[in-house]
Amino acid sequence: MHMQLLNNDRVIIFDRTDFGRSNLSLPDGKCRNDSNDSVLKYDCTAHSAEYNVYNNSIRALMVQTDTWCSSGAVAADGRLIQTGGYNDGERVVRIFKPCATCDWEEIPNGLSARRWYATNNLLPDGRIIIIGGRQQFNYEYYPKSTSTNMTFSLPFLKQTSDRYEDNLYPYVYLNVDGNLFIFANNKSILFNYTSNSVVQTYPDIPDGNPRNYPSTGSSVLLPLKLNSSSLVDVEVLICGGAPKGSMQKATSGSFIGALDTCGRIRITDPNPTWTMETMPLARVMGDMTLLPNGQVLIINGAARGVAGWEMGRDPVFYPVLYQPDNQNVSARFQVQNPSTIPRMYHSTAILLRDGRVLVGGSNPHQYYNFTGVLYPTELSLEAFSPGYLDSTYSGLRPTITSPVSYTKLKYGQRLPIRFSVPSGTKVNRKGIKVTMVSASFTTHSYSQNQRLLVLNAGHVLPVTDIAYGLAVTTPNSAFLAPPGYYLLFVVHEDIPSEGVWVQIQ
């Protein structure tokens, strides 16, 4: 249900705690003793795990309180700050440090309000803003201070919510002016959280259909292309979802076809307007993941219904790539090879350092259910390998030799980069770009804090027959890149290197 890649290449995975026993035992005789649990008050099995990508191993973790439909963000120091959930978890803050023996730390009443289906976003000053949730038309911050130990009203969330077309897990992006773009249901605003004021109201998405949970579409902030100018275009893409009325229909057993449209808007334009595009496959509950070369993967989901228990039908097995820079709009979407595993409600997808996308989950039932249902609870992980990992392109693939992982960066810094290519490779120097990608917290078809920057780069110069160098300028402001860990990639003709971890502060 939830996944987060940390800077030690471990993926933190967790579900909810009140489904009963899992198949993974807690270590060292640990057990949960939770009088609030509605299913199993004494439980010696794990509901969270750490997955080591590179040796394919699992370490059981101890999460005490219910994380169902919670939210998260990675702080500037690399800790996963995980917030809210259900029942005894609704106001809990959980912290996980990336280390080989670390486990969850939990702070009871760490939140000022119940947060169930909320959205978290890292801010330029390193704080995390936590927005919305069921019947919470407000926001708050973590960590707390004397002036922020409270909730702040956000009427926009009330205005975009009703009984059926809800607006949970609103799409939130930090704009380059420091304000927040917030999309809920079919409406969006630019919000100044420091003054608690709406800066701008955008046009409704043209078809008027809802795109947030339970009509779950997905969304990304398209790559931010940095240059010597201070002007950076900011575009948001929202794809899929369910037509108005789909929730009511699904509750009575009628499953309406999902949306096949995407809306794209340049939020920095003086007069922003939506442009609509058509996907090759309709999809609800899809996951959209930014790839290191700036393309967008759309994966998982269903062709009919909405998000919720037993509410989706017809799994969509075919992933789709979206190429935002393709000037031929009709050719932007490319259908990829299919999976064989239905990934329905409560599925996830995240980018890994090697350029693959880790995919897991699917449990569209109230409890674990492995037999006698249309879509059994799915315990497997799989990796989607984009076409750029095909051996056909191994000759083009660069390898970063400098900087090394965990290099600390400053804003507006000149950063020398060296990379090598296989012997005999003819490097297209104009086809080189350098990208920085944040690791996102993914749940319910939305990757919170997902962000990709294309850095301002100088000329590529040969060093040896196989080695090259260039210099890039790091983002000059925390408005462009909030402080924290990012994956740095060199991309050659759309073929990325493996990433190296860097920390900007």
Least confident of 224-228, 303-307, 375-379, 499-503: 224-228
Q: Phi and psi at residue 157, in whole multiples of 5°?
A: -70, -35
Domain with CATH 2.60.40.10 in the chain: 394-504
20 vs 455, which has greater pLDDT?
455
Q: Where are the alpha helices (DSSP H) in 214-311?
A: 246-251
pLDDT, tens digit, for every residue of 348-372?
A: 999 999 999 999 999 999 999 999 9
pLDDT, tens digit, for every residue of 227-237?
A: 877 789 999 99
CATH top class, domain 394-504: mainly beta
pLDDT, tens digit, for every residue of 315-346?
A: 999 999 999 999 999 999 999 999 999 999 99
Helix (DSSP H) and strand (DSSP E) numbers for the chain: 2, 45
pLDDT, tens digit, for every residue of 390-426?
A: 999 999 999 999 999 999 999 999 999 999 999 999 9
Which residues, 6+ apart, have CB-to-CB distance to 372 below 8 Å?
A: none
Edge-first strand order for the sheet with 128-131 is 119-122, 128-131, 138-142, 152-153
- H, E, C per residue of 417-453: EEEECCCCCCCCHHHEEEEEEECCEEECCEEECCCEE
- pLDDT at 494 exceeding the cut of 90: yes
3-state secondary structure of 391: helix
Domain with CATH 2.120.10.80 in the chain: 1-153
Q: How confident is the model at residue 38 (pLDDT cuts 50, 70, 90)?
A: confident
For residue 403, whether the previous peptide bond is cis, meaning omega lies within 30 degrees of 0, is yes
How confident is the model at residue 164, as a pLDDT? 60
CATH fold group of domain 1-153: Neuraminidase (2.120.10)
Q: Flag whether the pTM goes above 0.85.
A: yes
Q: How confident is the model at residue 162 (pLDDT cuts 50, 70, 90)?
A: confident
With contact defined as beta carbons under 8 Å apart, do 369 and 20 qualify?
no
pLDDT, tens digit, for every residue of 55-73?
A: 999 999 999 999 999 999 9
Q: What is the DSSP letter of 29?
A: G
How do strand 42-43 and strand 105-107 relate by DSSP bridges? unpaired
Mean pLDDT in residue range 219-244: 94
- Using a CB cutoff of 8 Å and minimum separation of 24, what contacts does 89-93 make? 89/17, 89/65, 90/66, 90/114, 90/115, 90/116, 91/115, 92/65, 93/142
